Structure 1
Amino acid sequence: MATDDLRVEGWGGGQRLDVYLFKAGLAPSRSKARAAVDAGEVLLDGKRVTAHVLVRDGQALTFVAPEATSKVSRDIPAVRVVHESDDYFVVEKPAGVVVHGGPGVTGPLLTDALLVLDKKIAKVGERDRPGIVHRLDRDVSGLMVVARTATAYKHFTELFSQQQVRKVYTALAHGVVGDEVGEIRLKIARSTRHARMAARPESQEGKTAVTHYEVLERFPNATLLSVRILTGRTHQIRAHLYGIGHPVVGDPLYALRRKTPLTLGRPFLHAAQLSFIDPSGVDRTFESPLPPELAGVLAALRAKYRKTSRT
């Protein structure tokens, strides 16, 4: 089965196919992209090609699911349904779960769990990402809204494109953030030196991105933040906080070079609040508490520095 075609964007013209797939966020690494191309899972203008072929602006990319994929048994992730209506679900995505499949993607998928909840979602939205109207990174947890009908899909995609969905995250950042509230305006673009996004001054190339933050609590070596994003760029919060010198604790991709006593098996970043006007016209707000692994880190910090302050 093949997905609907995507098109090579102008900036990618002249690059190797595997390089383009990686830089465009269509594969998790160049090696995975190359493997997918070699396996015939990625077609260029409907034809099998080699990974080193140079792509041109506007060429069609088609992703083909191999027959073996349907025979492979994946673990279905445990997903908590926060709210259910005839038109949509609001769910909590656990850390470690990829939202939807793609070239080289392995492990549990949120879409697998969604199809267990409602098989009809398979016909909503794009074939390889049924019901999906926005995403969270693999190792970020928290709230997501999922469309159950074509009407809801259109409604939510329009809300997101018009920046009419309020998304608030809880993040623990390295170091002491000085200002009580702040705004980060740095453009987001693919790094030319590392396999991640880069936060750049607004005078440079990239996509406009705006992040607001408010300090919730300070520790001697970290700051708990409430973060609201006005745009939805890839790795926006992670790249923006790294760009101002306060990367997210536990983030291996946007990590400090110097050693730090704060370690965690995942980024301390959780989608804690989601607000929108639903398809019936009702203004909705949903909240999600920190998962146990993050709440435990926070409790340990509080206990440590409360004890220190009393001695």
Structure 2
Amino acid sequence: MGQKFSAVPAPNWAWTPQTLILKQIMTLSKAFVEWLEVDEDQAGQRLDNFLQGYLKGVPKSHVYRLLRNGEVRVNSKRADPSYRLQSQDRLRIPPVRRATPEEVAAVPPLPVSLRSEVLHEDEGLLVLNKPAGVAVHGGSGIRLGVIEQLRQDRPDARFLELVHRLDRDTSGLLLVAKKRAVLVALHELLRHNRMEKSYLALVQGQFPQARQRVNLPLHKYMTASGERRVAIQAEGKPSETLFTRLQTWPEATLLEARLLTGRTHQIRVHLAHLGFPIAGDDKYGNYDWNHQLTRLGFKRMFLHAARLSFVHPLDQRPLVFEAPLPLPLAQILTRLAKSGLGEESLAPPRRVRQKQE
């Protein structure tokens, strides 16, 4: 993980009542400063993500404190957590104790192991079938996300970065790059709409169009309580989704949603704005309808990343991945059909597969 240049002894801190917090932090410390040089594989990562992977066992809050205090330096200068590392950048890492292998092993894993959810792996990328309820990365109130667990499970991996994101309550296909060049190439495919990403969504009401292209700009903002939200606004970023009707009931419709852009909460907000909120969406959905669905045993949002297709950046192979519909989602479709509401089949273009959980 980079080249170590030198080790400088850490200072002896004198104890005073005012240094209580500092003393607590220093209990994590090693006795030297480290200097690292960024190589090609590490280039392109955000500084905060790199540090969280390198400083194993150090709390995320402490990593950000080191950055805020300027104790981590890039080319002898302070750096923002979002700074993208460049090849041959020189990093100063202050004295801080990493977790031992035994301590890393003792960290509680995610409720669902990701090892059984790897659908494909090669030298450049991983394709996972992410379960619902699992965040893609750690954050406020979340100890470990997908990327943190992968780095914990693969301590010798030089590069592991999310190619894109899925909401915590969205299940399905998630790409992870194992090389910097692959990450850059896949981002280019996404930027130029050369990666097909399709989702399955159950929405309230009868969707009137067999096929509808929606182009509505999205604006991301934070509420006073700190909640992240997205709204349709003229000054927002261009956002485009193609919806295809697959199956309908008197009170619900199963849709395929193909992302033509990749904005935060794009499918959810577009559908809510059209008047067809996603089942189980507790942010943009219909509370009363969601409550009715719980009586059918439905306890999550019905949004599933079902299909990905793109050309592999390393060998130019055309790749197509499909994630079967999780059992709880397949069951709600069965219960809708048996609930006495009736059903009208609209000949879906692709069979909806079921996955046993």
Pair in the same fold by TM > 0.5: yes
Question: Structure 2 stretches of 5 or more lacking a match?
Answer: 1-28, 30-45, 50-58, 71-77, 83-92, 345-357
Given that 2:48 and 2:64 are in contact with CA atoms closer than 8 Å, whether structure 1 keeps it comes out as no
> How has the CA–CA distance of structure 1 residues 153 and 120 changed in structure 2, closer, same or farther, with 3 Å as cutoff?
farther
> How has the CA–CA distance of structure 1 residues 46 and 239 changed in structure 2, closer, same or farther, with 3 Å as cutoff?
same
Q: How do 1:1-311 residues align onto structure 2 when only pairs under 5 Å count? A: 4=47, 42=64, 46-47=68-69, 61-62=80-81, 73-76=107-110, 77-79=112-114, 80-102=117-139, 104-115=140-151, 118-121=154-157, 123-124=158-159, 130-191=160-221, 195-201=227-233, 204-259=234-289, 261-263=292-294, 264-279=298-313, 280-305=315-340
Distance 2:251 2:329 in 1: 16
Superposed CA offset, 1:92-125 (max 9, x none): 01111111123x241442124423664444x32x
Give the match for residue 25 of structure 2. none
Q: What value does the CA root-mean-square deviation take over the aligned residues?
A: 3.4
- Deviation of 1:182 (Å): 0.6
Distance 1:191 1:132 in 2: 23
TM-score, normalised with respect to structure 2: 0.64
Superposed CA offset, 1:257-311 (max 9, x none): 54552233221000000011002101111111111111111111122247799xx
Given that 2:126 and 2:177 are in contact with CA atoms closer than 8 Å, whether structure 1 keeps it comes out as yes
Range with greater deviation from structure 2 (132-141 or 71-80): 71-80
Distance 1:69 1:222 in 2: 51
Give % identity. 34
Return the index of the structure with the highest Cα Rg.
2
Distance 1:112 1:45 in 2: 19
Distance 2:138 2:79 in 1: 19
Distance 1:81 1:268 in 2: 22
TM-score, normalised with respect to structure 1: 0.72
Given that 1:141 and 1:271 are in contact with CA atoms closer than 8 Å, whether structure 2 keeps it comes out as yes
> What SS does structure 2 have at the residue aligned with 1:276?
strand
Superposed CA offset, 1:177-215 (max 9, x none): 1111111111111257683433425xx111110011011
Distance 1:284 1:308 in 2: 34
